[in-house]
Chain A
Amino acid sequence: MDVELRGITKRFGPVIANEAVDLVAKGGEVLGLLGENGAGKSTLMNVLCGLYRPDEGEIVIDGRTVAFAGPGDAIAAGIGMVHQHFMLVPVFTVAENVVLGVEPVAALNRLDLAAARAKVREIGETYGLTVDPDARIEDLPVGVQQRVEILKVLFRSARVLIFDEPTAVLTPQEVEEFFQIVRALRDDGKAIIFITHKLMEILEIADRVSVLRAGRIVGGGDPGAMSRAELAEIMVGRPVRFEVERTAFTPGAPRLEVAGLTVLHDTGEVAVDGVSLTVHAGEVLGIAGVQGNGQTALIEAITGLRPAVTGRILFDGQDITDASPRARHAMGMAHIPEDRQRMGLVTDFTVAENMVLDSYYSDRFSNGPAMDWRAVNRWAAEAAEAFDVRTPTVFAQAGHLSGGNQQKLIVARELMRDTKLVIAAQPTRGLDVGSIEYIHARLMAARAEGDGVLIMSSELDEILSLADRIVVMFKGRIVAEFDASAAPPDKAAVGLAMAGAAP
Chain B
Amino acid sequence: MTAIDPRAPAVADLGALRRKRGTGAALIVLAGVILLLFGDAAGDATFRLSRPRDAWVLGDLIVPALPVIQIAAALTAFLGARQFLRGGGRWTTLSLGVGLALFVMAFLVWATAGKAFSLTGMLQATMVRAVPIALGGLAATLCERVAVVNIAVEGMLLAGAFTGALMGSVIGGWGGLVSAVAVGGVFGFLLAALVVTYRMDQIIAGVVINLFVLGLTSYVSSQVFAEMRHLNNAPVFRSWKIPVLGDIPVIGPMLFDQNIFVYGALVMVAVSTYYLFHTAHGLRARAVGEHPRAADTLGIDVYRTRYIHVTLGGMVAGFGGAWFTLGSVGRFDENMTGGRGFIGLAAMIFGRWHPVGALMAALVFGFTDSLQQKLALLQTPIPSEFLAMAPYIATIVVVAGLVGRARPPAADGKPYVKD
Contacts and interface: CB of A to CB of B under 8 A. Distances in A.
Contacts, number: 112
Contact of A87 (B3, B286, B293): B293
Interface in A191-207: none
Given A270-B11, A479-B4, A500-B3, 6 more contacts: A73-B299, A105-B279, A268-B13, A273-B11, A475-B8, A496-B1
Given A75-B298, A309-B14, A103 B8 contact: no
A102 B221 CA distance: 50
Interface in B272-324: 278-284, 286-287, 290-291, 293-300
A499 B11 CA distance: 23
B4 A477 contact: yes
Given A110-B279, A264-B14, A475-B8, A87 B410 contact: no
Contact of B284 (A101, A262, A500): A101
Interface stretch (A31-39, A90-98, A242-250, A361-369): A90-98
Contacts of A81: 297
Contact of A103 (B10, B280, B294): B280
A168 B284 CA distance: 29
A501 B279 CA distance: 42
A273 B8 contact: yes
A102 B284 CA distance: 10
Given A87-B298, A90-B290, A475-B6, A103 B283 contact: yes
Contact of B8 (A96, A105, A264, A477): A477
Given A89-B291, A477-B8, A71 B296 contact: yes
Interface in B1-55: 1-4, 6, 8, 10-11, 13-16
Residue among A101, A270, A274 with most chain B CB within 10 A: A101
A502 to B, nearest CB: 5
A274 B16 CA distance: 20
Interface string B51-87: 0000000000000000000000000000000000000
Contacts of B300: 100-101
A476 B293 contact: no
A81 to B, nearest CB: 7
8 contacts: A90-B290, A100-B284, A105-B279, A267-B15, A270-B10, A475-B4, A477-B4, A502-B1
A99 to B, nearest CB: 8
B4 A87 contact: no
Contacts of B2: 501-502
Contact of A501 (B3, B11, B287, B295): B3
Contacts of B282: 111
Contacts of B295: 100-101
Given A475-B4, A479-B4, A87 B14 contact: no
A277 B1 CA distance: 24
Contact of B299 (A70, A89, A96): A70
B8 A270 contact: yes
Interface of B: 1-4, 6, 8, 10-11, 13-16, 278-284, 286-287, 290-291, 293-300, 407, 410
Interface in A74-132: 75, 81, 83, 87-92, 96, 99-103, 105, 108-111
Contacts of B297: 49, 51, 71, 81, 83, 87
Sort A-B residue pairs by CB-CB distance and give the 7 closest, nearest first.
A268-B15, A72-B299, A101-B298, A87-B294, A103-B280, A109-B279, A89-B290
Contacts of A92: 283, 286-287, 290
Contact of A90 (B4, B6, B296, B410): B410
Interface string A241-271: 0000000000000000000001010011110
B289 to A, nearest CB: 9
A474 interface: yes
Contacts of B15: 264, 267-268
Contact of B283 (A90, A100, A264): A100
Interface of A: 49, 51, 70-73, 75, 81, 83, 87-92, 96, 99-103, 105, 108-111, 152, 262, 264, 267-270, 273-274, 309-310, 474-477, 479, 496, 500-503
Residue in A87, A99, A273 with the greatest tally of chain B CB atoms within 10 Å? A87
Contacts of A274: 10
Nearest to B7: A475
Given A105-B279, A109-B280, A274-B10, A88 B4 contact: no
Nearest to B275: A109
Contacts of A477: 4, 8
Contacts of B16: 268
B283 A111 contact: yes
Nearest to B300: A101
A310 B14 CA distance: 12
A154 B14 CA distance: 44
B1 A269 contact: no
Nearest to A75: B299
Contacts of B11: 262, 264, 270, 273, 309-310
B283 A96 contact: yes
B280 A111 contact: yes
B149 to A, nearest CB: 18
Contacts of A262: 10-11
Nearest to A112: B280
A87 B8 contact: no
Q: Which one of B1, B13, B284, B297 has the greatest number of beta carbons of chain A within 10 Å?
A: B297
Contacts of A101: 284, 295, 298-300
Contacts of A100: 283-284, 287, 294-295, 298, 300
Contacts of A71: 296-299
A78 B124 CA distance: 58
A55 B119 CA distance: 71
A198 B10 CA distance: 39
Contacts of B278: 110-111
Nearest to A72: B299
B27 to A, nearest CB: 21
B298 A89 contact: no
Contact of B4 (A72, A91, A267, A474): A474
A91 B286 CA distance: 10
B144 to A, nearest CB: 14
Contacts of B410: 90-91
Nearest to B299: A72
A90 B282 CA distance: 16
A187 to B, nearest CB: 27
B122 to A, nearest CB: 38
A134 B15 CA distance: 30
A103 B283 CA distance: 9
B279 A108 contact: yes
A72 B304 CA distance: 15
Q: Which of A81, A90, A111 has most B Cβ within 10 Å?
A: A111
Nearest to B418: A51
B221 to A, nearest CB: 42
A109 B281 contact: yes
Given A89-B287, A100-B284, A268 B279 contact: no
Given A100-B283, A111-B278, A502 B4 contact: yes
A500 B299 contact: no
A202 to B, nearest CB: 25
Nearest to A83: B297
A89 B294 contact: yes
A100 B296 CA distance: 11
Contacts of A502: 1-4
A223 to B, nearest CB: 29
B9 to A, nearest CB: 8
Nearest to B291: A89
Given A500-B4, A501-B3, A502-B4, A88 B291 contact: yes
Nearest to B279: A109
Nearest to A310: B11
A4 to B, nearest CB: 23
A109 B15 CA distance: 43
B32 to A, nearest CB: 29
Contacts of B298: 71-72, 75, 87, 100-102, 152
